[in-house]
Amino acid sequence: MEQTKELTEIMRALRLTETARAAPALIAEANEQQYSYADFLLQVFRYEQEQRAIKARIKRLKNANLPYERALDEFDLTVQPGISQRQLNELKSLTWVDQSYNLVLLGPTGVGKTFLSVGLCLQAIEKGYRAIFITMGELVKALKMETISRRSQILLKRLREAHLLVIDDLMFLALDKKEANLFFHFINDIYEETSIIITSNKGPQQWGELIGDEIIAAAILDRIVQKSEMIELTGDSYRVTHRQTIFDNPHRSVIGLSNGVQNP
C-alpha cells in the first residue's frame, strides 16, 4: 500500500493525473495477470495516452462552437444532387485540410450547407484537428471588439490557430467599409495555414455588392478561391424534407397519454 501511495504521488507530480487516479486498479491488474515490468509500464503509459486523447477530443469539441452535432453519415445524398458520394468521401478524408484548401458551399437556405460544414467539423475533431464553427455575424462582432474585449481576443486567437474554420452565412448581411477591412485582414492572416469552409446563399459575383468596396472584395475573394473547391447545393430544402412532425414521430409520446391522461 505504501508503494502504491508513493507511486500515485509521483504520477501526480509528473502530471500523469489520469493514471494516478487509476493506479490502484492498474497495479491490481498487473499483479493478477502477472505482467512483466515492461508490460506494466506499457499498460500505464497506454492508459495515460488514451485518457489524454479523450480529454483532448472533449476540449476540441467544446471549443468548436458547433450549433449542433450531426455526423456526415447522416447527410442524405438522395435529396441533395449537388454533391456526389465520391466527392463526399474525398471531403471526409480531410487530405484537403492538410494542404490548406478551402471549401465554398453555395446555395439557397435549407439545402444542407450548414449541415455539411458541421459534419466536416466533427470529422476533423475526431481525427485530431482543431476545427471551429462561427457565423459571419459573430466573426465581424469579435473583430470589431478585439481591441477592447478580452473574450473577443481569446476567441480570435482560437480562430487563427484552427486547422479548419467554418464561416457560416458569409455575406448574409452587408458589411460597411470598416467591417470589410477587418474581415480582409483576418482572412489575410490565416488563409495560407488554415482551411476555410465558407457557406453562403450568394455567389462570389455578389460579394462585392455587399462588401461595398470592390477592391477589398476582390482581395478577399482572391485569397479564398486561390486554393478552393466550390460546390453549389441545390434541390428542395433539406430541413423541410427531413422535418420532424407531430403525428409520425416514433420517439414522442402520444398527446394526452404522456402523463397518464386517457383520451375519451
123-142 pLDDT, tens digit per residue, is 999 999 999 999 999 999 99
Rounded to whole angstroms, the Cα distance separating 253 from 218 reads 54
Q: Look at strands 164-168 and 195-200 and give their pairing.
A: parallel
Using a pLDDT cut of 70, give the percent of the chain over it.
88
| Gyration radius from the chain CA atoms | 24
Q: Are 172 and 206 in contact (CB under 8 A)?
A: no
Rounded to whole angstroms, the Cα distance separating 182 from 196 reads 17
pTM of the model: 0.80
pLDDT on residue 261: 44
Q: Residue 17 above 90 pLDDT?
A: no
Query: For 185-225, how does the pLDDT look when each residue is reduced to its tens digit (9 = 90+)?
Result: 999 999 999 999 999 988 887 887 777 778 888 899 999 98
Q: What is the mean pLDDT of residues 14-29?
A: 87
Band the pLDDT of 82: cuts 50, 70, 90: confident
Q: Residue 119 above 60 pLDDT?
A: yes
CA 142 from centroid of its chain's CA atoms: 18
> Kind and range of the H or E element at 62?
helix 37-63
List 196's β-bridge partners, or say none: 165
Rounded to whole angstroms, the Cα distance separating 7 from 16 reads 11
pLDDT on residue 96: 96
Q: Are 243 and 110 in contact (CB under 8 A)?
A: no
Q: What is the mean pLDDT of residues 141-147?
A: 96
Residue identified by cell 457557406 is 199
Q: What is the mean pLDDT of residues 144-155?
A: 96
Q: Residue 26 above 80 pLDDT?
A: yes
Residue identified by cell 473547391 is 229
Rounded to whole angstroms, the Cα distance separating 217 from 60 reads 32
